[in-house]
Amino acid sequence: MVVLEVLRLYPIMVFVSRQTLQNLKLGNIEIPKGFNIWLWLLELHFDPKFWGPDVEKFNPERFANGISRACKSSEAYIPLCIGAQVCPGRSLAKTELQVLFAIILSNLSLIILDS
């Protein structure tokens, strides 16, 4: 959960680009073939419409029941790119982050105060 939330707040890539393969019409907007479209991932990862009012708060618990329950659209969570440009080492990277986090926690000492 912590790794997923860190990747939401600090994604590896902050934008993704795609090029249209054909002419498109979205509502009243016409997009020609070969047009470059840029998607700013931080806009998705910080949109209260998808993540709720606490979008800027570090809250790993939002992923307690998986990505599909963390936000209103699982397509709004793109920490390691999508499509043909998806990070080939994404599974290894997530595992390494979990191992690193476990090592840090295993070396942590907690003291309970009386007050």
Q: Which residues are annotated as a binding site for heme?
A: 87
Residue reference for tokens 């090029």: 19
What is the DSSP annotation of 12-41? S-SEEEEE-SS-EEETTEEE-TT-EEEEEH
Binding site feature residues: 87
74 close to 12: Cβ distance less than 8 angstroms: no
- CA–CA distance, 73 with 67 (Å, rounded to integer): 9
